Amino acid sequence: MTWLLIIFIIFIFCFGFVIIFGPPYLPTLKPQIESAFMLLNLKPGQTIIELGSGDGKVLIYAAKKGYKVIGYELNPILYFFSIIRTFKYRDKVKIHCNNFWQIDWPEADGMFTFLLPRQMTKLDNRLNKYDHRPIKLASFAFKIPGKKINKQKNGIFLYEYK
């Protein structure tokens, strides 16, 4: 019984503490993933960053389409699950167990995220200072306040940064 309680506490901690930094884990549905990549309109070989890569579903979709993909996940349980789940695509997928707010993002052509409204302005500010080439952002469900949406489809909002 004690081991079950310890496991339960660890599980709650891993899924609960990430809410301080970002959204809780909610799997992205296939229609939204397809819409995001259609709007991003990247070419095979280009790089995409996923902020909050969760269970690895978006990472796998991107790898199957021929993209290089970098995922950031703070929850250690989801991080290890994603490592296992994406092993087959390890030549195209890199996953980091990091708080993406506290690191420098690598050069990329696109970005996908499902952040909460309270983080969207912070993300916009960070992307406006992104010192690499232009990048496209596909945001699931939540808009950036006051920013022009370039395109939208199926609950995905596309923004372009120069």
- pLDDT category at 27 given cuts 50, 70, 90 is confident
CB 102 within 8 A of CB 75: no
Q: pLDDT tens across 70-91, in order?
A: 999 998 999 999 999 999 999 9
The rounded distance, in Å, linking the Cα atoms of 162 and 156 is 20
Q: What is the pLDDT of residues 13-24, one digit of tens each?
A: 555 555 556 666
Q: What is the pTM of this model?
A: 0.88
Taken in order of first residue, the domains within the chain and their CATH numbers are: 2-161 (3.40.50.150)
Per-residue pLDDT, averaged over 111-127, amounts to 94
